[in-house]
Structure 1
Amino acid sequence: MTAADTQIERRWEQVHTWGPYGLLGIGALLAAVSSELMSAPGEWYAAGGLVLAAIVLQLWWNGTRSRRAGHGRIPSRAGTAYYVVRWVIAFALAWINPFFAFYAATGYMDADELIPGMWRRLGLFASAITVAGSQSGGLPPKSVAQWIGFAGLLVANSALQTVVAHLTEQEEQRSHQRAETISELERTNTALQQAHDENAALHAQLLVQAREAGVADERRRLAAEIHDTIAQGLTGIIAQLQVVANAPDLDIARTHLDRAAGLARHSLGEARRSVQNLAPVALENDGLPEALKNTVAEWGERTGVRAEFTVTGPAEQLHDEVSATLLRIAQEALSNTARHARATRAGVTLTFLGDEVILDIRDDGGGFDPLAVRERTGTGGFGLDGMRVRAERIAGHLTVESEPGHGTALSARVPLVRHDP
């Protein structure tokens, strides 16, 4: 409930509390001014007693409302009894003096709050009888014309109150529906918040599982790379050295020694690359944007290719697994560019976009046909499957756009998961 609604509720409470006193006072004052309408002393005594009874009744009811602590505006048996006794007093006062119909009009104010269901229509009709009788000249009617006037006024008052009661009931229904809608929205918001919290916990759990799966994948990948590169290189070195040992002259020995040295350098480079891919040391002291900037700059100096790095959107501290995944994808993509693309320019862009992080790597190299490579090799080729698996491991995805002679563009989109505090 808003502050305005609370203020309106308070004012209505004041009207229901003090309104009957005010209307009773107006009726008593007008009755006293028109004293000729009460010629017998007994009527004065009766009116005074009834006014006192009305005051006592109102004091009792106000005390009951206070004890009910906010439930006084809900129809109840006590409210119905209060309404009936008040109507009897008002009817008796109006019978003595028509001006007491002001007090009888209190029945129009709170019938919907005191009388349950369809009985409130009967209560309104009873109040209309008292008011119409007073409007027609007092109760009881003393002539045919007064009876006709009383009947017409009764119909008019009843019709007016019926319309008002109908509109009031409709407003109550709308208020009840609004309250139910608000409650339903609150329950929905609570459920959405719970779902959001559960999703966050699930995502964190998935990241942990992805990290564990990534360790196993890295072990398998490293074992394969050692077998395919370093182990083969060492085998080649041994073979060359065996040739040197049996070489008939010095020139042949030097040739095979040069080959062995080249294989050793190549194997050393492969070992360094495997270790670098296994543990992204660039993230030890820097965030992902700074690590990517340094990686791109070092790659450009090493390859002689013009390389640029750009960050768009407000940078945020990412979860370690997200940062490591994107850095490794960038390293693998740049390595592919250096080995296969024959590019003169390359660009890396890191975009923070709402609840996503986007890593774009593009070059102006020779390009290739991704579908043809997949059909020929059964995989994405050029390490694309490895990059795609890395992205999918953290609920992201990798897209590749390339065409022979028109360069290559890779885009990795992953959820933005912030760093654990």
Structure 2
Amino acid sequence: MATATTDADRDRRRTAFLARQPYGLLGISALLAVASAGLTPTAAERTAVVVLVVAALVLQLCWGRVAARTGPGPGRASVAYYVLRWVIGAALTWLNGFFSFYAAAGCFDAGELLPGRRRARLGLVACSVPLATAQASGLAFRGGQEWLVFAGLLVANNVLLTVVGHVFQQQEEQSLARAATIAELERTNTALQRALDENAALHAQLVVQAREAGVADERRRLAAEIHDTIAQGLTGVIAQLQVVAAAPDPAAARVHLDRATGLARHSLGEARRSVRDLAPVDLAHDALPRALRTTVARWSEQAGVRAEFTLTGTVRELPGGVSATLLRIAQEALANASKHAGASRLGVTLSFMGDEVTLDVRDDGRGFDASAPPGRTGTGGFGLDGMRARAEGVGGVLAVESEPGGGTAVSARVPWARDEPRHEQ
């Protein structure tokens, strides 16, 4: 936009200069002619000068109106104007050499008024004639030497005009090339700005999508967290209260009531912890092996099923996310065994092996068809899907092996970076 404005201003200034310069040169020539009245001694010559000056003024005024009507660019009217101005300028120069300034007006606008380079060049040659005449005004032109000097002046003026015209033409071409380059840069900058705007809009869209995806992931994680903690704890409370309601012996009822109270308190602690940092409360003070041992023992007491915890390999410190994931998988597997397996024996094994840690939960319960679609396995579906999602969330995998009447085995394998051994059990 700025380049277009600059080019328009330059064109307006050029047009104004070409329109006004004949008036200025004619005025300068007239003032110098008055100051050098001795160059036109006779009254007839002076009268001719006045008539020609008036004719030049009338010609300039008429051309100004014609140019305003026809617009810029060479044509028949411009050629006629150029020729008439040259004739008047040459005649004035012959009468008084100082009028060569007016005759030189054609050197500035030959390219604007005469069509084609050849005609413009002929116009410049014609302008050089009154210039050379003015420069040789002291010669009598009575012999060959004077004409030879005049011819030399004519050639010198043409050479000078050619060099100056070539320089101006090069400058004009460079100016046009620079303007084209600037225009191309502006187009490129516009396209670049458009691309930047599109990238900014795309980035904003991606940020929104990432935020929505994060919210969805957090919702799924919270759903699994509630399912693995509060929901399981409440299920245990309900089971213990159902036993209390059916128990004829107050002492036995009291035992189950205490268990229900303990489960309720544990679930309350999990709920408070979930609000605080969503890390398993059992890992608040213990490492994963000890937390698993405590969880298995508590489950065995509550479910009335023989359960054992086994630790193999060299214990190493795990990232908090891996420890929490494995503990949640174990809790879900134990909850599924309590609700669906009807097992008499269960084993939990935590193994540290090379570059991975493995959690295995096996029972001798009724089992199910592991190849059946989710929701038809008799396990509730969400528990297995939740365990699998948790394992994948830390870069691990979950495998489930089971068959009707053959028990169930849940195995979670999670890779981890090697670290120094930590002998905590």
Smaller-chain TM-score range? 0.5 to 0.7
Whether the aligned pair in 1 keeps the contact of 2:140 and 2:146 (CA below 8 Å) is no
Whole-Å Cα distance in 1 between the matches of residues 62 and 43 of structure 2?
A: 29
Whether the aligned pair in 2 keeps the contact of 1:124 and 1:161 (CA below 8 Å) is yes
Q: Paired residue for 2:49, among 47, 50, 66? A: 47
2:147 maps to: 147
**1:258 Cα deviation after fit:** 4.8
Whether the aligned pair in 2 keeps the contact of 1:94 and 1:139 (CA below 8 Å) is no
In the TM superposition, what are the counterparts of 1:260-339 in structure 2 within 5 Å?
260-268=260-268, 270=270, 336=321
Whole-Å Cα distance in 1 between the matches of residues 173 and 273 of structure 2?
A: 73
Q: For residue 137 of structure 1, give the secondary structure of its aligned residue in structure 2.
A: coil
| Change in 2 beyond 3 A, CA 1:192/1:77 | farther
**1:32 Cα deviation after fit:** 4.5
Q: Does 1:87 align with 2:86?
A: yes
Whole-Å Cα distance in 2 between the matches of residues 380 and 77 of structure 1?
A: 90
Whether the aligned pair in 1 keeps the contact of 2:322 and 2:394 (CA below 8 Å) is no
Whole-Å Cα distance in 1 between the matches of residues 24 and 111 of structure 2?
A: 20
Amino acid at match of 2:83: V
Whether the aligned pair in 1 keeps the contact of 2:321 and 2:394 (CA below 8 Å) is no
In the TM superposition, what are the counterparts of 1:1-400 in structure 2 within 5 Å?
15-32=17-34, 34-35=36-37, 37-38=39-40, 41-63=43-65, 78-118=77-117, 119-137=119-137, 141-207=141-207, 209=209, 217=217, 220-241=220-241, 257-268=257-268, 270=270, 336=321
**1:90 Cα deviation after fit:** 1.0
| Change in 2 beyond 3 A, CA 1:170/1:253 | farther
Deviations 1:356-397 (A, max 9, x none): xxxxxxxxxxxxxxx8589x9998969568xxxxxxxxxxxx
Q: Percent identity?
A: 56
Whether the aligned pair in 2 keeps the contact of 1:19 and 1:106 (CA below 8 Å) is yes
Question: CA RMSD for the aligned pairs?
Answer: 5.0
TM-score, reference length from structure 1:
0.55
Deviations 1:100-153 (A, max 9, x none): 212112222333444455143322222112211221227995431222112211
Deviations 1:311-363 (A, max 9, x none): xxxxxxxxxxxxxxxxxxxxxxx9859969xxxxxxxxxxxxxxxxxxxxxxx
Amino acid at match of 2:179: A
Count of equivalent residues: 307
Whole-Å Cα distance in 1 between the matches of residues 46 and 83 of structure 2?
A: 23
Deviations 1:231-283 (A, max 9, x none): 33333334444565677987876665454344334444555677x6xxxxxxx
| Change in 2 beyond 3 A, CA 1:59/1:139 | farther
Whole-Å Cα distance in 1 between the matches of residues 268 and 111 of structure 2?
A: 92
Greater CA drift, 254-263 or 3-12:
3-12
Q: For residue 137 of structure 2, give the secondary structure of its aligned residue in structure 1.
A: coil
2:309 maps to: none
Amino acid at match of 1:60: C
Whether the aligned pair in 2 keeps the contact of 1:137 and 1:146 (CA below 8 Å) is no
| Change in 2 beyond 3 A, CA 1:146/1:382 | same
Amino acid at match of 2:90: F
Amino acid at match of 1:102: F
Whole-Å Cα distance in 2 between the matches of residues 382 and 266 of structure 1?
A: 27
| Change in 2 beyond 3 A, CA 1:161/1:403 | farther
| Change in 2 beyond 3 A, CA 1:216/1:133 | same
| Change in 2 beyond 3 A, CA 1:51/1:252 | same
Whether the aligned pair in 2 keeps the contact of 1:38 and 1:96 (CA below 8 Å) is yes
| Change in 2 beyond 3 A, CA 1:164/1:381 | farther
Deviations 1:172-228 (A, max 9, x none): 122212222232233233333333443444444445555665665555444444443
TM-score, reference length from structure 2:
0.55
**1:54 Cα deviation after fit:** 1.0
Whether the aligned pair in 1 keeps the contact of 2:89 and 2:100 (CA below 8 Å) is yes
Whole-Å Cα distance in 2 between the matches of residues 381 and 373 of structure 1?
A: 12
Amino acid at match of 1:51: V
**1:168 Cα deviation after fit:** 1.0
Unaligned runs of 5+ in 1: 277-294, 297-302, 305-333, 341-370, 386-400, 406-421
| Change in 2 beyond 3 A, CA 1:268/1:24 | same
Amino acid at match of 2:57: I
Whole-Å Cα distance in 1 between the matches of residues 86 and 390 of structure 2?
A: 90
Greater Rg over alpha carbons, structure: 2
